[in-house]
């Protein structure tokens, strides 16, 4: 067996004449978190569905847990767990019954004990015997993930596991993902949240227009784009003009009345910059130091902000 938990090469999928995946390649190391990042409609769920045997690709090769997806579907299914974008919870059963059903389906030994442990881990003990239909969105997502963990699959696919969750439930999800990885599980995670990929992923791939437009660690992606800068906002165009004349290499935005000044972000150069503005009696209404985050990466790679892309 190779050390890659997932290896994808030349993967293509079209709906009618619309290419959703236009030849994508990536590898996921065993025991790591790989995040597929992209806006609505980018093809994240399509990718997950292909990798989890729910959908057939038009072209390309995929190996999951060392098995060829095209010929060893059964072995692939035995190695993976999937939490889909929309919960697979049965509303007419309680949380405990949903988990027990999963344990029975997967023929897990001492299922009752496993179920009890999962209810505790996900903080669902109090509601364990209530119908899932009475659960909040966050509780349903947690139950859904707990169901995926029954039988301890070696590779877990999570399709937007925290979309719509409040910050506290999101943190719970994050810490569970970290625990799973510490236990040696491989996680394939899709998300629209750059921060989530930044927090959890060992490697990130950005999907846009059917292709992976970038791949790497979060630091590598951040290094691909222009670095730290100071952002100055002015109250009127006159001040903006004066500041633009004064500061070489600054990028102006007339609508926002801002200037983006390249800087190393160190206190000495920040003080020098402020002193220069002072000498020329130019007053900046706002002054902020900006280090690149994944939002900047997305903007640099796709020409859109992540919010614009999602709103599209």
Ligand X SMILES: Nc1ncnc2c1ncn2[C@@H]1O[C@H](COP(=O)(O)OP(=O)(O)OP(=O)(O)O)[C@@H](O)[C@H]1O
Question: Is residue 136 part of the contact set for ligand X (CB under 6 A)?
Answer: no
Q: Which is nearer to Mg ion, 42 or 240 (CB)?
A: 42
Of 49-108, binders to Mg ion (CB under 5 A) are 85
The item of ligand X, Mg ion, none sharing an interface with residue 4, based on CB under 5 to 8 Å by kind, is none
Distance CA 212, CA 79 (A): 26
Asked whether the beta carbons of 227 and 263 are under 8 A apart, the reply is no
Residue 72 interacts, among ligand X, Mg ion, none and using kind-specific CB cut-offs from 5 to 8 Å, with none
Angle (nearest 5°) at CA 18 between 33 and 34: 5
Enumerate residues 62-101 that contact ligand X by CB under 6 A: 85
The residue with tokens 């806006």 is 39
C-beta nearest to Mg ion: residue: 45
Residue 44 in contact with ligand X, rule: CB under 6 A: yes
Alpha-carbon Rg of the chain, whole angstroms?
Answer: 24
Could you tell me the smallest distance in angstroms from the CB atom of residue 280 to ligand X? 48
Scanning 36-44, 98-106, 145-153, 170-178 for contacts with ligand X by CB under 6 A, the matching segment is: 36-44
Q: Which is nearer to ligand X, 43 or 161 (CB)?
A: 43
Q: Which parts of 9-28 interact with ligand X (CB under 6 A)?
A: 15, 20
The answer to whether residue 163 forms part of the interface with Mg ion (CB under 5 A) is no
The residue among 211, 185, 198, 148 whose CA lies nearest residue 28 is 185
The verdict on 46 binding ligand X (CB under 6 A) reads yes
Smallest gap from Cβ 301 to ligand X, in A, equals 16
Interface mask (CB under 6 A) for ligand X, residues 191-220, using x and -? -x----------------------------
What is the closest distance, in whole angstroms, from the C-beta atom of residue 64 to ligand X in the complex?
18
Nearer to ligand X, 119 or 207 (CB): 207
What is the DSSP code string of 46-91?
HHHHHHTTSS--SEEEEEETTEETTT-HHHHHHHEEEE-SS----T
Region from 35-43, 221-229, 249-257, 272-280 binding ligand X, contact rule CB under 6 A? 35-43
Q: Rounded to the nearest 10 degrees, how much is the dihedral formed by the CA atoms of 240, 242, 245, 249?
A: -30
Please report how close the Cβ of residue 80 comes to ligand X at its closest, in angstroms: 18
Q: Is 45 in the site for Mg ion (CB under 5 A)?
A: yes
Q: Which two tokens stand for residue 75?
A: 């072995």
Residue from 24, 28, 33, 42 touching ligand X (CB under 6 A): that is: 42
- Number of residues counted as binding ligand X (CB under 6 A): 12
Helix (H) or strand (E) run with residue 267 in it? helix 267-279
Pick from 3, 22, 2: nearest CA to 212: 22
Measured distance CA(198)–CA(267) in Å, rounded: 26
Estimate the crossing angle of helix 111-121 against helix 95-105, to 10 degrees.
130
**What does the alpha-carbon distance between residue 20 and residue 23 come to, in Å, rounded to a whole number?**
9
Residues of this chain that interact with Mg ion (CB under 5 A) are: 44-45, 85
Residues of this chain that interact with ligand X (CB under 6 A) are: 15, 20, 38, 40-46, 85, 192
């Amino acid at each position: 067996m190779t050390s890659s938990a997932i290896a994808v090469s030349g993967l293509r999928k079209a709906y009618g004449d619309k290419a959703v995946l236009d030849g994508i390649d990536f590898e996921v190391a065993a025991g790591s978190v790989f995040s597929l990042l992209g806006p609505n409609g980018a093809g994240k769920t399509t990718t997950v569905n292909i990798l989890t045997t729910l959908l057939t690709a038009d072209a390309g090769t995929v190996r999951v847990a060392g098995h060829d997806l095209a010929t060893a579907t059964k072995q692939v299914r035995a190695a993976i767990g999937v939490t889909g974008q929309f919960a697979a919870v049965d509303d007419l059963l309680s949380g405990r019954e949903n988990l027990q059903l999963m344990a029975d389906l997967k023929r897990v030994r001492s299922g009752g004990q496993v179920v009890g442990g999962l209810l505790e881990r996900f903080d669902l003990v109090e509601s364990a015997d209530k119908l899932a239909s009475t659960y909040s969105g966050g509780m349903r997502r947690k139950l859904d993930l707990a169901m995926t963990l029954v039988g301890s699959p070696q590779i877990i696919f999570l399709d937007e596991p925290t979309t719509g969750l409040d910050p506290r439930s999101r943190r719970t999800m994050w810490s569970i993902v970290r625990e799973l990885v510490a236990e040696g599980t491989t996680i394939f995670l899709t998300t629209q949240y750059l921060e989530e990929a930044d927090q959890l992923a060992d490697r990130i791939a950005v999907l846009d227009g059917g292709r992976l437009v970038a791949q790497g660690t979060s630091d590598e992606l951040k290094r691909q784009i222009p670095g730290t800068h100071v952002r100055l906002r002015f109250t009127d165009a006159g001040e903006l003009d004066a500041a633009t004349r004064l500061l070489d290499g600054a990028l102006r935005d007339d609508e926002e009345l801002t200037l983006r000044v390249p800087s190393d972000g160190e206190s000495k150069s920040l003080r020098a910059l402020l002193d220069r503005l002072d000498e020329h009696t130019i007053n900046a209404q706002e002054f902020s130091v900006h280090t690149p985050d994944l939002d900047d990466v997305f903007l640099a790679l796709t020409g859109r902000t992540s919010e614009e892309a999602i709103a599209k």
